[in-house]
Chain A
Amino acid sequence: DTAVSQTPKYLVTQMGNDKSIKCEQNLGHDTMYWYKQDSKKFLKIMFSYNNKELIINETVPNRFSPKSPDKAHLNLHINSLELGDSAVYFCASSQGIRSNTEAFFGQGTRLTVV
């Protein structure tokens, strides 16, 4: 039973299109994240949600809009896709308490914009 699942795993799309990536966690965690991993493997946080509320927005272009309908889901919608958006996007979740600080990651979505 997958702890953090995101769909799709691969996404190829043309410039200018709008696309969404979905993420669900079944761990009962309060906090969820979106990270972007670029071609050099650098992982950078984009957004963080705690109990459905946005708590971190790391200067991400407003073409990226996260949505958390409930604390088990955090989706990422991207408008007007650009070539530079090509990357692997990871969803993650954590509990944020001392006894359980590990972040669990989904398998990533490789987005290719052509």
Chain B
Amino acid sequence: AQTVTQSQPEMSVQEAETVTLSCTYDTSESDYYLFWYKQPPSRQMILVIRQEAYKQQNATENRFSVNFQKAAKSFSLKISDSQLGDAAMYFCAWLLLTSGTYKYIFGTGTRLKVLA
């Protein structure tokens, strides 16, 4: 069974500093997608960044970047120059596209606190 693990229930970072959130996953598939979603107190799920497993290059979106290690099945999110608005729950998610089952599997989430 495919699983996604986020081992850090909670993380804190000083404003303007850098923080890395960890995510590991378990799958025997080779073609899949990985995502980081942010859920602020408003409850809305917002896509932060996406990575295709067939691409070796790590995805970046402004202050957000990932470290994708396919062999290690690791997908960490680095937030640079942290801002107060980054405070939220962050969920790592895995999607297998080719199976026809269309299921996003989420990790348990990491609550990020940003300290002023």
Contact = CB atoms under 8 A, between A and B. Distances in A.
Contacts of B52: 98
Contacts of B89: 41
Contact of B104 (A40, A45, A88, A98): A45
A107 B109 contact: no
A43 B102 contact: no
A6 to B, nearest CB: 11
Q: How large is the interface on A (under 10, 10 to 19, 20 to 34, 35 or more residues)?
A: 20 to 34
Contact of A102 (B44, B50, B109): B50
State the majority secondary structure of interface residues on B.
strand
B108 interface: yes
A50 interface: yes
B101 A48 contact: yes
A96 interface: yes
Interface string A35-51: 10000111111001010
Contacts of A114: none
Interface string A42-80: 111100101000011000000000000000000000000
A102 B91 contact: no
B97 A55 contact: no
A4 B22 CA distance: 29
Q: How large is the interface on B (under 10, 10 to 19, 20 to 34, 35 or more residues)?
A: 20 to 34
Nearest to B110: A41
Given A88-B43, A94-B104, A96-B102, 4 more contacts: A42-B106, A55-B100, A90-B45, A94-B102
21 contacts: A41-B39, A41-B89, A42-B106, A43-B106, A45-B104, A50-B100, A55-B101, A55-B102, A92-B45, A96-B102, A98-B52, A101-B33, A102-B35, A102-B50, A103-B47, A103-B104, A105-B44, A105-B45, A107-B43, A107-B44, A108-B43
Interface of A: 31, 33, 35, 40-45, 48, 50, 55-56, 88, 90, 92, 94, 96-98, 101-103, 105, 107-108, 110
